[in-house]
Amino acid sequence: MKFHITTFGCQMNVHDSDWLTRALESRGWEAADEDEAQVYVLNTCSVRDKPEQKVYSELGRIAAHLRRDEDVFAAVGGCVAQQVGRGFFERFPFVKLVFGSDGIANAPNALERIAEGSDERVALLDFVSIYEERENPEERTVTLSENRQAFVNIMQGCDNFCSYCIVPYTRGRQKSRHPDAVVEECRALVESGVREVTLLGQNVNSFGMDKGGVGVSFADLLYRVAALDGLERLRFTTSHPKDIAPEVIKAFGELTNLCPSLHLPLQAGSDSILKAMRRKYNTKRYLEIVDALKEARPDIALTTDLIVGFPGETEEDFQQTLEMVERVGYESSFSFKYSDRPGVAAVNMEPKVDPQEASERLMRLQTLQNNITRKCLKNLESRETVAFVEGLSRKQDESGTWWKGRDPAGRIINFSMSEINGLVGMMVPVRITEAKKHSLVGERIGTPW
C-alpha cells in the first residue's frame, strides 16, 4: 500500500507521524506523494480553531482524489480526531479510521486490517491510564532523517486544565514513559549517528509525577540522557513554569550539551488574567524563574507563547503583558488571538474582547517582539559559535553554496561554503557577520566535523 501523511500542529504530532511512517514501512507499505497514495492519513491539531478548519478543508480536497479509486480511503488522527471522533464517519464516508493520541499505537494494525478489505470503521479513541510503549519498527536506526536530529517522546497528555486549553480533553491525562525506555531509545538513536535529541511532552517538568512515575524526576532524566556518549546537543519542550524544579534550572549550568535555550510559555503578563487562565503562577514567580535561569546560564535564549484578547483582558492587562515581554527580553515568541475551544472553561468567561481590538493588540505585541528580536540578534554580531547543518539555505548566489544551520540556542545561521554536498549533520565553526530580521549570516572559521 502507498500512503501519504499530512501533519498539522506541534512537534509531538511531527514525532507521531514519523513513528507511524516507520511502523507502516516496516509492514511493507510505501510512503508516496498525494497523487499516488492509496491511503491518506491526517494527523491533526485542535489547539486553535484555524488548524481544525484546515482539516475539514484538506478532507474536502482529498475527496477529489478518492473518486478515481473506490479502494482509496482516509484516516484522521490526533487531537481533532479525538474531539470529533465518529463524527468524521458521518461527514466523510471515505474516512475509515479515527484515532486519538493514545490510540496511535494500534493505528498501524487497524490500517493494515482495513487495507486488506475489512468493511469496518475503526475508532481508537479510548484513553489509557498508563503509557503504552509503541512497537519498535524494523530498521529503527537506519531510517532517521539525514540531519542527525531526533525527537523522543517522554510522556503523553496533561493534568493542568488551563481554562483555555483543549489538550487534556484531546490527549488525556498525563502519562509518563518509564525512564529506562526513554534512555534506551536515546541511546539507540545516538549509536545510530544522531547528534541532537529533543525530549517532548506537553509538560516535561512534571515527568514522573503520575501513575507511570517510578521516582525518577525530569531533572534526573536530563542528567541520564545528557550522559550518553556521543550526544552533542540536548533540548526539551514544552516546559510549564509552575513545575520547573531548581534541579532543572541548575542543569543548564552543569550540562554542557544541554542547549542554552528554553521555551517557557508565559501566556499573559497580567496576574488577574493568569489567574483566570488557571496557570497557577504569577508574574513574580515567573520572573524569579527567568532570573534563576539567566544566573545559571547567562547566554540562555528564552522564547514563549502569548495569548491576547483573553476574556476579560483590559488595556491595562495587555500593557502588563507588553511590560513583561520587554522585561524578559524574549528572543522570539508565538502569539495568537484567543479563540474559544469546545468544552474548556474559558468558553463561558465574560466579557469577550472585541475581535478588532484583539487584532490590534496582537499587532502591537508582534511589533514589540520584532524589535526585541532584532536587538537580540544584532548583539550576536562578531561572536563565534558552531552551526549544526540542517540543509541547503534558501539563499543561493554566485559566492558559493549557502547552507543553513543552527547554533546551540537554536538560532538559524546561513553561511557560504565551497562544498556542494556532504555537510548535512555536520558541525561547522562560524563567526556571525550580520543579523537579519529573524536569522543570522555567518562565515566559516574552522574545519567541519
The CATH number of the domain holding residue 406 is: 2.40.50
Task: Return the minimum-mean-pLDDT range out of 166-175, 313-322, 370-379.
Answer: 166-175
Residue 172's nearest CA partner among 156, 150, 195, 154 is 156
| Higher local confidence (pLDDT), 69 or 21 | 21
* Residue 177 and residue 223 in one domain: yes
For residues 15 and 221, give the distance between their C-alpha atoms in angstroms, rounded to a whole number. 19
DSSP class per residue in 131-180: PPPPP--TTTTTSS-TT-EEEEE-EE--S---TT--HHHHT-S-EEPPHH
* Residue 148 and residue 253 in one domain: yes
* Residue 247 and residue 144 in one domain: yes
Q: How confident is the model at residue 146 (pLDDT cuts 50, 70, 90)?
A: low
Domain interval for residue 41: 2-124
Reply yes or no on whether the pLDDT at 68 is more than 80: no
* Residue 84 and residue 27 in one domain: yes
* Residue 306 and residue 406 in one domain: no
In a domain, 267, yes or no: no
In a domain, 265, yes or no: no
Amino acid making up residue 305:
D
Q: What percent of the chain has pLDDT over 70?
A: 96
For residues 52 and 64, give the distance between their C-alpha atoms in angstroms, rounded to a whole number. 20
For residues 434 and 449, give the distance between their C-alpha atoms in angstroms, rounded to a whole number. 24
pLDDT in tens, 184-209: 999 999 999 999 999 999 999 999 99
Reply yes or no on whether the pLDDT at 142 is more than 60: no
* Pure H helices in 198-303: 218-226, 246-254, 271-277, 283-296
The stretch 411-428 carries a mean pLDDT of: 93
* Residue 13 and residue 105 in one domain: yes
User: Considering Cα of 370, then 375, then 376, then 377, what sign does the dihedral take?
Assistant: positive
351: cis peptide before it, omega within 30°? yes
238: cis peptide before it, omega within 30°? yes
Q: How confident is the model at residue 70 (pLDDT cuts 50, 70, 90)?
A: low
* Residue 117 and residue 159 in one domain: no
* Residue 170 and residue 83 in one domain: no
In a domain, 221, yes or no: yes
Can you read off the three cell numbers belonging to residue 204? 516535561
Q: How confident is the model at residue 138 (pLDDT cuts 50, 70, 90)?
A: low
For residues 397 and 126, give the distance between their C-alpha atoms in angstroms, rounded to a whole number. 53
pLDDT in tens, 395-408: 888 777 999 999 99
| Higher local confidence (pLDDT), 142 or 364 | 364
Q: Is 220 in contact with 178 (CB distance < 8 Å)?
A: no
The stretch 257-275 carries a mean pLDDT of: 98
In a domain, 279, yes or no: yes
Q: How confident is the model at residue 119 (pLDDT cuts 50, 70, 90)?
A: confident
pLDDT in tens, 276-298: 999 999 999 999 999 999 999 99
Residue 226 maps to which CATH number? 3.30.750.210
For residues 150 and 295, give the distance between their C-alpha atoms in angstroms, rounded to a whole number. 29
pLDDT of residue 9: 80
Helix, strand, or coil (residue 423): coil
Strand partners of residue 297: none
* Residue 174 and residue 222 in one domain: yes
Reply yes or no on whether the pLDDT at 141 is more than 60: no
Which of 229, 259, 289 marks a domain boundary?
A: 259
Which of 379, 394, 416 marks a domain boundary?
A: 379
Task: Return the minimum-mean-pLDDT range out of 125-129, 283-287, 374-378.
Answer: 125-129
Which of 379, 394, 415 marks a domain boundary?
A: 379
pLDDT of residue 207: 97
In a domain, 369, yes or no: yes
Question: Measuring CA to CA, how many Å separate 181 from each of 131, 185, 205, 235, 357?
Answer: 11, 6, 18, 18, 48
* Residue 395 and residue 375 in one domain: no
In a domain, 449, yes or no: no
Residue 302 maps to which CATH number? 3.30.750.200
When divided into structural domains, the chain yields a total of 4
Reported pTM: 0.88
pLDDT of residue 445: 96
Residue 89 maps to which CATH number? 3.40.50.12160
In a domain, 129, yes or no: no
Reply yes or no on whether the pLDDT at 140 is more than 60: no
| Higher local confidence (pLDDT), 374 or 55 | 374
Phi, psi of 282 (to 5 degrees): -120, 180
The stretch 330-346 carries a mean pLDDT of: 94
In a domain, 266, yes or no: no
pLDDT of residue 158: 94
Rg (CA), the chain: 23
* Residue 40 and residue 18 in one domain: yes
* Residue 221 and residue 246 in one domain: yes
